[in-house]
């Protein structure tokens, strides 16, 4: 998160220097855009995510009694309010959590996970999702996504202004000394590379929190084998049909099955590494 805020400041400074001849103006603009993006996404994340993934809320234990009981028991153990439960009609086994605090949280499970996992495995998966809620991982992920989008917007604004008019610095170009020219080049490079850097930081944060949620799940269930078995089944399943690509990082395993193992652009750690850590606990 520190890296994200540092990137926001750097890209704001670069845009301000290159286009307004004022680093302060750029930083203020960056702070305003970041605050707006974070506010919008934090306030609306749960409804948006569930809508994008076609989740339907269940309102009584009779609809899916095993899932309801598992979530209820784990919530008591984790000492958080019981989250709302959603079902996604998809044969591929998977699950995710949403919500920026335990009081507003939700968990979603596919019909495939209820058909293919036994109770022990389902407990491992739901303990992982409840751990995300207890650890405020969804809030962190939402803020990271908002900051990534804000950085991309700032970079786009800065490069377009440079392209279509050069900003205020173009009018002063004749008076620039060597150091000013170097600073301008650095600013342009920052505007070009910042969106990529932000994406890499966001994905690294996502992978780190998956490891933490795995460990926290074992803390809740005292049974690493349930989660190990569930991860094996989920990783070997077919891709989901209902998953929204922008929500892929929220799922316990990437639902699209397209990422390269151990890649810097992976939303999740390699399943083999997650299982190896669980077996060592």
Q: Which of 93, 70, 94 is nearest to 82 (CA)?
A: 70
Report the pLDDT value the prediction gives residue 172, as an integer from 0 to 100: 53
Strand order in the sheet with 55-58: 55-58, 84-88, 106-110, 95-98
Question: At a CB cut-off of 8 Å and minimum separation 6, what does 65 contact?
Answer: none
Give, for all 281 residues of the chain, the pLDDT tens digit: 787 888 888 888 888 888 888 889 889 998 898 888 888 777 766 777 888 888 999 999 999 999 999 999 999 999 999 999 999 999 999 999 988 889 989 999 999 999 999 999 999 999 999 999 999 998 888 888 888 888 888 888 888 887 776 555 554 544 556 677 788 888 888 888 888 888 888 888 889 999 999 999 999 999 999 999 999 999 999 999 878 887 888 899 999 876 556 678 888 999 999 999 999 98
Q: Which of 99, 97, 54 is nearest to 74 (CA)?
A: 97
Question: At a CB cut-off of 8 Å and minimum separation 6, what does 180 contact?
Answer: none
Report the pLDDT value the prediction gives residue 152, as an integer from 0 to 100: 87
Q: Which of 218, 12, 244, 2 is nearest to 128 (CA)?
A: 218
Tell me: is residue 268 an annotated ligand-binding position: no
Cβ atoms of 38 and 151 within 8 Å: the answer is: no
Report the pLDDT value the prediction gives residue 258, as an integer from 0 to 100: 66
Report the pLDDT value the prediction gives residue 176, as an integer from 0 to 100: 54
Alpha-carbon distance values, 159 to 4, 34, 36 (Å): 20, 18, 21
Report the pLDDT value the prediction gives residue 42, as an integer from 0 to 100: 72
Question: At a CB cut-off of 8 Å and minimum separation 6, what does 35 contact?
Answer: none
Report the pLDDT value the prediction gives residue 51, as an integer from 0 to 100: 84
CATH 3.30.2010.10 segments of the chain:
53-134+205-279
Report the pLDDT value the prediction gives residue 217, as an integer from 0 to 100: 96
Q: Exactly one of 120, 129, 253, 272 is catalytic; name it.
A: 129
Q: Give the Cα separation of 113 and 239 in Å (integer).
A: 13
What is 53-134+205-279's CATH superfamily? Metalloproteases ("zincins"), catalytic domain (3.30.2010.10)
The three-point CA angle 278-250-77 to 5° equals: 55
Between strands 84-88 and 106-110, the pairing is parallel
Q: Give the Cα separation of 23 and 17 in Å (integer).
A: 5
Report the pLDDT value the prediction gives residue 144, as an integer from 0 to 100: 84
Report the pLDDT value the prediction gives residue 160, as an integer from 0 to 100: 83
When computed from its CA atoms, the radius of gyration of the chain, rounded to whole angstroms, is: 22
Report the pLDDT value the prediction gives residue 231, as an integer from 0 to 100: 96
Instruction: Express each pLDDT in 180-219 by its tens digit.
Output: 778 888 888 888 888 888 888 888 888 999 999 999 999 9
Report the pLDDT value the prediction gives residue 219, as an integer from 0 to 100: 95
Cβ atoms of 58 and 86 within 8 Å: the answer is: yes
Structure-token match 């890296």, residue found: 3
Count helices and strands (H / E) in the chain.
Answer: 9, 4
DSSP letter for each residue of 59-108: -STTTSHHHHHHHHHHHHHHTSPPPEEEEE--SS--EEEE-SSGGG-EEE
Cβ atoms of 83 and 75 within 8 Å: the answer is: yes
Cβ atoms of 95 and 125 within 8 Å: the answer is: yes
Active site residue 120: no
Cβ atoms of 279 and 224 within 8 Å: the answer is: yes
């Amino acid at each position: 998160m520190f890296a994200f805020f540092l990137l926001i400041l750097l890209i704001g400074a670069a845009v301000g220097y290159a286009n307004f001849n004022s680093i302060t103006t750029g930083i203020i603009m960056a702070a305003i855009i970041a605050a707006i993006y974070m506010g919008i996404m934090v306030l609306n994340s749960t409804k948006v995510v569930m809508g994008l993934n076609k989740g339907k809320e269940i309102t009584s234990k009779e609809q899916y009694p095993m899932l309801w009981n598992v979530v209820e028991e784990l919530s008591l153990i984790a000492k958080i309010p019981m989250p709302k439960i959603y079902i996604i009609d998809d044969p591929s086994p998977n699950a995710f959590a949403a919500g920026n605090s335990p009081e507003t949280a939700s968990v979603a499970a596919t019909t495939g996970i209820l058909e293919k996992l036994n109770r022990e495995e389902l407990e491992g998966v739901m303990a992982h999702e409840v751990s995300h809620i207890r650890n405020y991982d969804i809030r962190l992920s939402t803020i990271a996504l908002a900051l990534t989008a804000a950085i991309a917007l700032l970079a786009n604004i800065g490069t377009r202004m440079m392209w279509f008019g050069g900003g205020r610095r173009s009018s002063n170009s004749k008076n620039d000394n060597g150091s000013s020219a170097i600073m301008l080049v650095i600013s342009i490079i920052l505007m070009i590379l910042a969106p990529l850097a932000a994406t890499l930081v966001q994905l690294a944060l996502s992978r780190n929190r998956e490891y933490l949620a795995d460990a926290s799940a074992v803390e809740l269930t005292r049974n690493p084998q349930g989660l190990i078995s569930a991860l094996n089944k989920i990783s070997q399943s077919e891709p989901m049909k209902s998953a929204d690509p922008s929500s892929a990082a929220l799922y316990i395993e990437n639902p699209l099955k397209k990422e390269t193992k151990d890649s810097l652009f992976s939303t999740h750690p390699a399943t083999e590494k997650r299982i190896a850590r669980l077996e060592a606990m």
